Structure 1
Amino acid sequence: MPLLLFFLLLSFLHHPLLSSSYPFDVSYYIDCGGSTNITDSFNTTWLADRYYTGGSVALVSEPLHFSHPQEKTLRYFPLSSGKKNCYTVPLPNGRYYFRTFTVYDNFDGKSHSPSFEVSVEGTWVNSWRSPWQEPLARDGAYSDLFAYVTDGHADLCFYSIATDPPVIGSLQINQIDPQSYDAASIGQDYILVNYGRLTSGSQQWGPGFTNDTDLFGRSWQSDSEFQSTSSSPLKKISAIKPITGADTAPNYFPAKLYETAVTTSGGGNEVVDYALPVDAKLDYLLVFHFAEIDTSVTKAGQRMFDVVVNGKNVNRIDIFKEVGSFVAYTWQYTVKNLSYTMLTVKLVSAIGSPLICGLENYALVPADLSTVPDQVVAMRALKESLRVPDRMGWNGDPCAPTSWDAWEGVTCHPSKDEKALVISQM
């Protein structure tokens, strides 16, 4: 049996998210720094560390502080491994959900959290700058995004700032429906970076946190910490009947998302108000989740509210009119070229009380130019034949991201049509 097939089957056999009706079945769960396969408390098998270009392994300084075994081990990339290091994972072409766990926890005893940058498929997606806030440095954080893979392998790369060693605790990759999240309109030239995936009226749930299923592998964070102080008094409600219209292509939003909601307590002029931290100069995709789970609403027109984004009224919602009761309903809106570092979302009553089950916020990060495929293949072959030392950092795309240095000794420039990068000098 080919090794790749064996690894995939091993992951599938212990993967609680897969359904016989779900057609996308490629997934990897990699315990970065781990030496053996492990199974966590949710019966997910994490593979021993693999597909890395270099680096060293370590343990967090306080292993008992972490709940899951894959959070206790690390791979870090000292400067001796080069400025740029990667995980290069063989995958069929398609669209994927990437989730990483990153933590410092003073694993090296230096009390200096590192500065570094992260890219996926040659596009910058995240920066870590020292010093990290103390809860983040000690507890770590999960980050996730959606990206397309078009060359048979996924590159997750790290770029050292100064002499700091990038670090990663775990890597999860799940294949998803390529048409999800309005791909027909947005296209493949964007990476969707999660800036908030909220569930209303519930605590955090989803893979890695509870036994609840999300076929994409998404976890859902409680919306309570994002509720603005200007919100009206809120109350939680729960469905007393099964939800229909969920877990369907292309987004496969789980039914659990629509089983709880927040609404206002009544009294007129009611508002549900969220404040979402963001980075400026990017577009953001907002995905709203609704279900009319209040049995007192029995016809259209009994609950109507306006969606106001950064002070602009962008839509009026009548859930019952759209889908009836106990049926999942989603609506999305794109905020263009945001110039603020806070995105405000308000649901303002028109008739009755506003209600929401969940909210997602994704930065639309334009895909960077990448090196023409033939040159990538040639350069990787050259690296192997010349036995280029690790310290040269010849990993990932030779020229991308464009905000990073190209491979040492390599000069790149855009192609004539400006749709790719070409190597012009070595």
Structure 2
Amino acid sequence: MSFLILFHLILIIIPAISSSDVVYRIDCGSPINSTDNFNSTWISDRFYTGGSNGLVSEPLHFQQSQEKTLRFFPISSGKKNCYVVPVPDGRYFIRTFTVYDNYDGKSQSPSFDVSVEATLVFSWRSPWTEEIASSGAYSDLFAFVTDGEADVCFYSIATDSPVISSLEVVQVDTASYDSATIGNNSILVNYGRLTCGSDNWGPGFSNDTDFLSRSWQSDEQYRSPGGKGIHTIATKKAIVNADQSPNYFPMKLYQTAVSTVENGVIDYELPVDAKSDYLVWLHFAEIDETVTKQGQRVFDVVINGNNLTRIDIIQHVGSFAAFSWHYIARNLTSTTLNIQLIPVTGAPLLCGLENYAIVPADISTPKDQVVAMRALKDSLNVPDRMGWNGDPCAPPMWDAWEGVTCHPSNNKSSGLVSISHIDVGSQGLKGGFISDRIGLLSDLVSLNLSSNTLGGSLPSDLGHKALMKLDLSKNKFTGSIPDSLSSTNLQLVLLNDNLLEGRVPEDLYSVGVHGGVIDLTGNKDLCGVPPLKDCPLLWGKQGLSTAGKIGVAISSVFLFCLILLGTIVYIRRRRNDYDFSLPHELASLAAKRNKYQRQKSMMALELESQHAKGFIPNLDAK
């Protein structure tokens, strides 16, 4: 898809006023903030993912500092690079200024694409026209942001280096340009914003203000060559209803107009892309003081041969009042959009004309998977050369991130694509680990991180039902194998040559039993079935089992108590604090008992002696 690049400029001037709460004006390639001739502040270059600073070859050709610097993205920064601007959710006017001016001394303007919010919007192809290459061009659009970041991404064609000189992001009313009809899932790309009966004006052309930072281009070059009797009308009177929400069309737009002689036709031919839809916005104001009544000026609006409406400006809004009408031309069959104002009574009149391509949002990656992939990029220390920036899978006509494969979601009506394969084996990834967010990749079928220098423990939710192939071999992963890898769908599990430990989950062995491949060798502290070493008694997958830990704890407490008791006894004996004799009361009682026992024993002995001699005493004798 190739879009029209709009404004060809020799002198670029930046807007000074905006009614929006959020405004970023980024001077790409500049290390410092600056203020232009109209007191607009440009911030130093920021929010980019890679690239290098550049300077145009003829700085004196440009009056403003933000016109002279640029950022370019060499292939060493990856095929895909972005500006990621943090903003609240809402609708935004986004404008880029692009210039080449032989900044690299190669005299070869680059080929590249530009996307906004993961949707392709501009295509630059070499060679550029001499005027655009040396003087630059504006391109702008309206887009919704729903994830807190305005993403403007650049994709290199072949090995060319994309360039950008300035980037503006301005928040606008969410209801602007009939968003209720257009919807939030489309981008309005400017294919012509024309002022009738006036020279170029507004940001980029003059110090005339437009609250939404729009620039207005003279309509003269777009008038049909067959048009006759065209003349201009101008006024300095105030125009009622101008500068009103949600579109804030400026009053200056309605203070000039073109008209014709009696029975003349106003005729425009605008270049467009076939098979696309376009939003056409026409602006009127009756600024001719000789036309004061209804019915004096009546004309039909005809677009591509279709008579769509009849306009009587005074009937709609009266004199010196702004009036706008818009229409969506769908599925054009040619590369020209023809707009005619055909008189019914009097001569037709037109103050301004806008034409926007309605570009449907490209299919994109689910937000949770984008979050997971950005977390993986950081945790794995993925190098810039791999171009892991923006949406991993979109726009779909671009290659996905290097090493990443995407497939349409199971829900085809969702407009989403899912990440199915990640293959970054042998990429020199060092010192990183696997982010816990990997569990958000619910459609991941294959993960290959082999032959890098990654470490840390394996996330607990690394495995899920979709995962079929896992290769983490030849790294430095530590800890135990998570139970989540006991998925019945796994056909390949390569965890060899790491630093894993503990008992292998029993269900993981089913991979080999069912014809798959499993390799756990080279982890000296793993235990389980051969060829792994046997796990000790009471040994679990993470070392000691719960029962083993309880047994060790009880034994430790018992041993501690013995040592403590022995220590106390030893200390007290050293201090002579112990007397092993009986207490005094018990000793006295024992002595009496012993005396009684001795007397009893003597009597018994005496009786035994007498019995032995045959003498039995007569106890009854007196």
Aligned equivalents of 1:15, 1:98: Cα separation in 2: 13
1:54 equivalent to 2:50? Answer yes
Q: Which one is further off, 199-208 or 400-409?
A: 199-208
**SS of residue matched to 1:181:** helix
Map of 1:281 onto structure 2: 275
Displacement of 1:316 in angstroms is: 1.2
Map of 2:17 onto structure 1: 17
* C-alpha contact (below 8 Å) 1:292/1:326 kept by paired residues: yes
Match of 1:299 among 293, 309, 329: 293
After TM superposition, list the pairs within 5 Å mapping 1:153-302 onto structure 2.
153-264=149-260, 266=261, 268-302=262-296
Match of 1:133 among 122, 129, 135: 129
Match of 1:319 among 307, 313, 316: 313
**SS of residue matched to 2:202:** coil
After TM superposition, list the pairs within 5 Å mapping 1:288-367 onto structure 2.
288-367=282-361
Match of 2:29 among 33, 54, 59: 33
Match of 1:94 among 85, 90, 93: 90
1:73 equivalent to 2:69? Answer yes
Aligned equivalents of 1:81, 1:304: Cα separation in 2: 58
Displacement of 1:417 in angstroms is: 2.2
Unpaired runs of 5+ in structure 1? 1-13
Map of 2:470 onto structure 1: none
Displacement of 1:15 in angstroms is: 7.4
Displacement of 1:269 in angstroms is: 2.6
Q: Which one is further off, 222-231 or 165-174?
A: 222-231
Aligned equivalents of 2:387, 2:227: Cα separation in 1: 50
Per-residue CA distance 1:83-106 (angstroms, 9 max, x = gap): 000000000000000000011111
* C-alpha contact (below 8 Å) 1:371/1:400 kept by paired residues: yes
Aligned equivalents of 2:233, 2:169: Cα separation in 1: 34
Displacement of 1:123 in angstroms is: 0.1
* C-alpha contact (below 8 Å) 1:347/1:354 kept by paired residues: yes
1:380 equivalent to 2:381? Answer no
**How many correspondences in the alignment?**
407
**SS of residue matched to 1:295:** coil
State the structure with more CA Rg: 2
Aligned equivalents of 2:235, 2:89: Cα separation in 1: 39
Normalised TM-score (structure 1):
0.94
RMSD of aligned residue pairs (Cα, Å): 1.2
Aligned equivalents of 2:409, 2:122: Cα separation in 1: 26
What amino acid maps onto 1:98 in structure 2?
A: I
Per-residue CA distance 1:170-203 (angstroms, 9 max, x = gap): 0001000000001011101110000000011111
**SS of residue matched to 2:301:** strand
Displacement of 1:315 in angstroms is: 1.3
**SS of residue matched to 2:370:** helix
Q: How high is the sequence identity, in percent, across the aligned residues?
A: 65
The alpha-carbon distance between structure 1 residues 74 and 240, as it changes in their structure 2 partners (threshold 3 A), is closer
1:416 equivalent to 2:407? Answer no
* C-alpha contact (below 8 Å) 1:239/1:326 kept by paired residues: no
**SS of residue matched to 2:177:** coil
1:115 equivalent to 2:115? Answer no
**SS of residue matched to 1:48:** coil
Aligned equivalents of 1:51, 1:240: Cα separation in 2: 43
Aligned equivalents of 2:15, 2:196: Cα separation in 1: 27
Tell me which stretches of 4 or more aligned residues in structure 1 moved more than 6 Å. none
Displacement of 1:241 in angstroms is: 2.4
Aligned equivalents of 1:17, 1:372: Cα separation in 2: 37
Q: Which one is further off, 311-320 or 118-127?
A: 311-320
Aligned equivalents of 1:134, 1:116: Cα separation in 2: 17
**SS of residue matched to 2:343:** strand
1:401 equivalent to 2:388? Answer no
Q: Which one is further off, 367-376 or 354-363?
A: 367-376
Match of 1:42 among 38, 41, 47: 38
Normalised TM-score (structure 2):
0.64
Displacement of 1:240 in angstroms is: 4.4
Map of 1:85 onto structure 2: 81
Aligned equivalents of 1:260, 1:383: Cα separation in 2: 54
Q: Which one is further off, 416-425 or 380-389?
A: 416-425
Per-residue CA distance 1:70-121 (angstroms, 9 max, x = gap): 1110100000000000000000000000000011111111111100000000
**SS of residue matched to 1:424:** strand
* C-alpha contact (below 8 Å) 1:42/1:210 kept by paired residues: no
Displacement of 1:233 in angstroms is: 1.6
Displacement of 1:149 in angstroms is: 0.4
Flag the structure with more relative contact order, 1 or 2, with Cα contacts below 8 A and sequence separation at least 6.
1
